[in-house]
Amino acid sequence: MAAEEDRNLRVADQDGDRQGPPEASPAAPISIAATLGRTACLVGMTVGLLALVRFWPPAGRAMHVILAAPIWPRLYGWLHVQSEIGREQILLIVMVLVCFGFALSVQLLALWIIGLLRRRKHQTDNGNARA
């Protein structure tokens, strides 16, 4: 009986009649609403991290370690930045990029974990349906 179900599933897969929700397939398209939600979440996390750097002293000290690296004087020379305002602008851009990179890493990790949990749930749902 199980062999017949396996054969039927393989035939259904070949015909394109996949079982399960569209989120389970890796090629499922992402909706515009989901993309906008992810973008808003990413921007919100970036702004939140920048506020954290500004108002929480340990985060400010950690950012200061990054911004006090010896590469910045070389970067000023490569970009021909001579004024203090130009240097502050470069450091601000670096702060935003660091916070954005961290927020993007957190978001990608969260999406990976959500996908992993969905796959596990989908596998257990299919296992319960067959039993």
The pLDDT tens digits of the residues spanning 48-91 come to 999 999 999 999 898 888 888 788 888 888 888 889 898 889 88
pLDDT of residue 4: 52
> For residue 129, what are the contacts with CB-CB under 8 A and spacing of at least 6?
none
Average pLDDT over every residue of 104-121: 93
114-123 contact pairs (CB < 8 A, 24+): 118/23, 118/24, 119/24, 122/20, 122/21, 122/23, 122/24
pLDDT of residue 38: 94
Is residue 31 predicted with pLDDT exceeding 80? yes
Q: Give the mean pLDDT of the chain.
A: 81
Tell me how far apart the alpha carbons of residues 34 and 89 are, in angstroms, rounded to a whole number. 33
Tell me how far apart the alpha carbons of residues 45 and 110 are, in angstroms, rounded to a whole number. 13
Average pLDDT over every residue of 22-51: 85
Answer yes or no: pTM beyond 0.95.
no
pLDDT of residue 25: 54
Cβ 46 vs Cβ 100: under 8 Å: yes
Q: Tell me how far CA of residue 110 lies from CA of 24, 47, 107, 119, in angstroms.
A: 17, 18, 5, 14
